[in-house]
Amino acid sequence: MTDLLKNWTASPKRFGVLVLIVCLAAASRLIPHPPNVTPVAALALFGGAHFADRRLAVLVPLAALVASDFVIGFHELVPFVYGGFALIAVLGFWLRGRRSAGRITGAALGGSAVFFLVSNFGVWLLLGTYPMTPAGLVACYVAGLPYFWNTLLGDLVFTGVLFGGFALLERAVPALQAAPSPAGADAAA
């Protein structure tokens, strides 16, 4: 707990803005949108890349997701959905201190693939829609492809908006820039 408090007090403005961005992105799930075109994977990736504390990088986006799910509703696939987003937040760690358009795009594409694989595995395992065979798993993934294209589109657009928007905000408000990290440590994001 002391580490969390230390990270927050190191840059309370940055921390507050990051939390606000994550919460606004999660709240956008509540407005009408095409199926699977949401900012959730982008905000998980963003959290992983920007929060200084790795625990917060995973927990803040998941907490925002839980809050919006109290309105939308929970379902049996929640462990797989949340697990997929947690993995995407961990993927965001790879972007710490070395963000570029190419790396961010690659991480967004990787995050889309991770979510597709994890969530569709959950559908196959829990819903009983497909036989519990390798062929049933393949059929489940094939049936999920139309949703994957929507996920990919949403992830790429929202990742660009979140990362690009925050980069512009950091330039305009220097107090939001990450403090330099000590040698050998994660980038203080």
Residue 40 lies in a domain: yes
Number of domains composing the chain: 1
Residue 4 lies in a domain: no
Query: Which amino acid, residue 55?
Result: R
Residue 129 lies in a domain: yes
Residue 73 lies in a domain: yes
Burial class (CB in 10 A: 0-12, 13-18, 19+), 31: exposed
Q: Which domain holds residue 43?
A: 13-25+35-175
Residue 162 lies in a domain: yes
Angle between helices 2-10 and 54-72 (to 10 degrees): 90
Supply the pLDDT for residue 94: 94
Supply the pLDDT for residue 180: 66
Residue 2 lies in a domain: no
pLDDT tens, per residue, the chain with 189 residues: 455 545 555 678 888 888 888 788 778 888 888 888 888 899 899 999 998 889 988 998 888 888 888 988 899 999 999 999 999 999 999 999 889 999 999 999 999 999 999 999 999 999 999 999 999 999 999 999 999 999 999 999 999 999 999 999 999 988 888 876 544 444 444
Start-to-end Cα distance in the chain: 18
